[in-house]
């Protein structure tokens, strides 16, 4: 069984920092990291995980928006949003770094993302619905942005206070 990594929670500083591009010399480390990140994401359980969420400041995300009975894991190295539709969609989002916190977020309905595969090949993926939201959410992590940044200040502060209270209670239980 593949080793999993601890997921960092808000307010971990790395979650607010811009991640560095993965370089050509990082190939072996990135391959090992991708395997651990996928194992961590599935165990959590979640549909996406960005390297900063496990304490690694590199531009890499893993995601799987496929049905539970047909996993379709993806690893995106140095992903960049290259196109987004004018049409918007509202979806409820959550985040493994903000456990049990959910809110409606408005984002472009359809996006196109350019990235490198683990073997260094240039790739593109187009997504709509859940895949679009997941791609945008994970790329935001690479830029130090969280889904709560799309909320009103009042709603964001309520959610962050609730998270802090829940995490404090969890520490007392442990």
Active site members: 138
DSSP 8: P
- In angstroms, rounded to a whole number, what is the distance separating the alpha carbons of residues 63 and 105? 19
DSSP 19: P
- Which helix (H) or strand (E) segment holds residue 42: the answer is helix 27-43
- In angstroms, rounded to a whole number, what is the distance separating the alpha carbons of residues 105 and 109? 11
Pairing of strands 60-63, 110-116: unpaired
- In angstroms, rounded to a whole number, what is the distance separating the alpha carbons of residues 37 and 42? 9
Minimal CA–CA distance to 5: which of 37, 49, 32, 34? 37
Distance of CA 81 to the CA centre of its chain: 14
């Amino acid at each position: 069984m593949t080793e999993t990594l601890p997921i960092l929670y808000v307010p971990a500083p790395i979650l607010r920092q811009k991640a560095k591009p993965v370089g050509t010399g990082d190939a072996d480390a990135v391959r090992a990291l991708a395997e651990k990140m996928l194992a961590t994401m599935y165990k959590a359980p979640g549909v996406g995980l960005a390297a900063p969420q496990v304490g690694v400041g590199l531009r890499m995300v893993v995601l799987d928006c496929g049905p539970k009975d047909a996993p379709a894991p993806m690893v995106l190295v140095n992903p960049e949003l290259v196109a987004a539709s004018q049409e918007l969609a509202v979806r409820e989002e959550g985040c493994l770094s903000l456990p049990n916190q959910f809110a409606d977020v408005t984002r472009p309905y359809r996006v196109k993302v350019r990235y490198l595969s683990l073997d260094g090949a240039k790739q593109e993926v187009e997504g709509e619905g859940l895949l679009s939201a997941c791609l945008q959410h994970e790329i935001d992590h690479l830029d130090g942005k969280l889904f709560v940044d799309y909320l009103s200040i009042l709603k964001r502060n309520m959610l962050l206070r609730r998270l802090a209270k829940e995490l404090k209670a969890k520490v007392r239980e442990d």
